[in-house]
Structure 1
């Protein structure tokens, strides 16, 4: 079987949930007797082979914003697909230009789209984005859903949402986690306890501002509380200003973007992982924290309740800093509960090993070919 995956892609340090998903999925699929090709945009045209993967970098047709060059960039991708002549094309994401590309692929190639998040939903939380770009991307996504025959989503919650927008056959395949790799890392980071960490994008949709406000409440009860924020995004400066405004400079550290061993060592070194999202289609960060043996405290939105329960962590009301604060205080004061949840979380994470996820994905390829 020959498969083409069209997506954002990074060779070494995948950034964000989508890139992390594609990086690990492609690697796992290529070990499954599948000739795997990745087509991604870059500043150059180059074909390379890495970890049994064939990676095709496509140079964009212009330095203008991608919004203005979608048809031309899509044509270059389509030409590469024709050159490879795969059995199936897997488009990752419905943001532009991938929502346009998924509609432009010749009918002879079976196409399946993985929806990582619905643009129309996410745009509600990120209204600071370019309005025109957001609107056009919303329209392109809408048309992509109409034409799609096969769609993969990461949760039953997403399946219900997609069912309202598309007549496609919808398959549920969760995100995965590399448990074997994570097991090799240790808790080598020196942190201040009691400690909480957030690792992810610094965007409004992720709700980190709510968690900072909760730290301000927790500080009254636990003055030595320490919150580590790892990641980058458009809200970083606002979050730093909020930290200063609340006088929390001694309680909060901004770590910047971290990945690989540094990320997992941080997870393993702290007491709790927090995921305060306003909306979350799945949450790879949750799986990574669980694989590190840490309890997760997270908002009760999207698919999160299917991962975080009373055995693996605690749910709180989204955007309710008082609820977050009280539940964090209770968990930090109960070492036995944290240890029990951490052990349960680590066991649960093994159900999402990438080898299992890739096997499910390959079986779907076989069905649609």
Structure 2
């Protein structure tokens, strides 16, 4: 490992974008830097719906960042001569297929000289209905044919971030011997004293919100915020703080229009990106975190809220079932069941429901939570084994 201790990380978006994949990469690879690895992230110069392009190069927490145009990122990344381990994140057709094809051809004729590690983050088994019909058809064909073949014949290991994803990968035909389960970790900021660290601005927002629930995640159809809004409309004297970057402008606009239609515009606050202690201060002072996403391969924000002992009401699907056990570590409802969610929301704080909520709170505080340091160390061990094969 000492001879080739370099990691080339491929991801479409990276910091300052802070959705699930980007947070995962930032937290784990910054810690891998501390463990002696040299890390370069190759990404695009774009962020969610921002017209201003990001700087071509940067360094964040010891991670070197090189940004490319979307076209160059997809079709012309200059990595053919780079040494070290290639770390592919998500499962995009481009540029991932080009790296895998190159590795397969090189392996057939010259022997593969670099290791490849794939972390799909659920991207191999996505929520297909959220794709347009043409994109869905193309990706499904690719995943079932060439994509599966290339993963099984060129990738050294595939990281599943949840037990749900591991099972889905196995059912999809990915070689079981290649799959390693390393779940996401907990933000160390979660355990700080947010009352003293949160900004005056956020404290003022919280004071003005009154009784509120919180939803955190990128503004994207897969997050299913329309169901949360419909449920909120069936309650009284309850507000919603919605935190997260806007990935889909049209969807954001549809949510704004829905708040008008439902007559709850004054009860919904879109706060955009909120980080660090400000985010946790908002979480701590909410009545509950509501997360009715249509699909999750893990869900960092639910894991973070759980560590605070915060009641989480989530959709009954995918990896959320592994985190939230109904009535023990949180509450679950059917994904699009606004009436079922509204019933839980109306019960928040009621005397007859406090016993269940207190039980959930105590169960959450008694659990052990994996840190990002622990996650990164498990990756360090796997990466070391792979890269030693090519030294």
Q: Could you tell me whether the CA contact under 8 Å between 1:45 and 1:56 is conserved in 2?
A: no
- Which of 333, 341, 349 is the aligned partner of 2:360? 341
1:18 matched to which residue of 2?
21
Match of 2:238 among 206, 225, 229: 225
Unaligned runs of 5+ in 1: none
Point out where structure 2 has 5 or more consecutive residues left out of the alignment: 46-52, 104-111
Picking from 84, 92, 95, the partner of 1:95 is 92
Spell out, residue by residue over 1:7-64, the C-alpha distance to the aligned partner (whole angstroms, 9 max, x if none): 24534x33211111111111122222333332223368855544333x141433xxxx
1:201 counterpart residue number: 218
Q: CA deviation at 1:355?
A: 0.8
Are the counterparts in 2 of residues 279 and 301 from structure 1 also a CA contact under 8 Å? Answer: yes
Q: Which moved more, 1:248-257 or 1:95-104?
A: 95-104
State the shift of 1:290 in Å.
1.9
Tell me how far apart the structure 1 counterparts of residues 57 and 269 of structure 2 sit (CA, whole Å). 40
Q: Which residue of 2 aligns with 1:363?
A: 381
Match in the other structure for 2:158: 151
Number of aligned residue pairs: give it: 347
| 1:239 and 2:255 correspond | yes
Aligned residue in 1 for 2:296: 280
Question: 1:307 Cα shift?
Answer: 0.9
Q: Is the 8 A contact 2:238 2:267 kept in 1?
A: yes
CA contact (8 A) 1:24 1:354 kept: yes
Partner of 2:319: 303
Pairwise CA distance, 1:140? 4.9
Measure the CA separation in 2 of the matches of 1:255 and 1:45. 25
Equivalent residues in 2 for 1:59-74 (5 A)? 59-60=68-69, 66=71, 72-74=75-77
Question: How do 1:84-163 residues align onto structure 2 when only pairs under 5 Å count?
Answer: 85-86=83-84, 88-104=85-101, 106=103, 107-118=112-123, 121-127=126-132, 132-133=134-135, 135-142=137-144, 143-148=146-151, 149=155, 150-163=157-170
CA distance in structure 2 between the aligned counterparts of 1:312 and 1:183, rounded to whole angstroms: 22
Alpha-carbon offset, residue 294 of structure 1:
1.2
Cα deviation per residue 1:221-274 (whole Å; 9 max; x = unaligned)? Answer: xx2111111222321111111111111123222222323333222112211001
**Structure 1 partner of 2:11:** 7
Q: CA RMSD in A?
A: 2.7
1:362 Cα deviation from its structure 2 partner: 1.6
C-alpha distance in structure 2 between counterparts of 1:161 and 1:313, whole Å: 24
Tell me, what secondary structure is at the counterpart of 1:24? helix
TM-superposition CA deviations, 1:79-101 (whole Å, max 9, x none): 4xx33x11x22111112434324
Give the 3-state SS of the residue equivalent to 1:33 in structure 2.
Answer: coil
- Runs of 4 or more, structure 1, over 6 Å off, are none
Residues 1:249 and 2:265 aligned together: yes
Aligned 8 A contact 2:73 2:95 in 1: no
For 1:230 and 1:170, the matched residues in 2 are separated by 33
Contact 2:190 2:277 (C-alpha < 8 Å) held by counterparts: no
Aligned to 1:34: 37
Q: Retained in 1: the 8 A contact 2:307–2:369? A: no
**Equivalences for residues 167-178 of structure 1 within 5 A:** 167-168=174-175, 169-178=178-187
Cα distance in 2 for residues equivalent to 1:230 and 1:37: 29
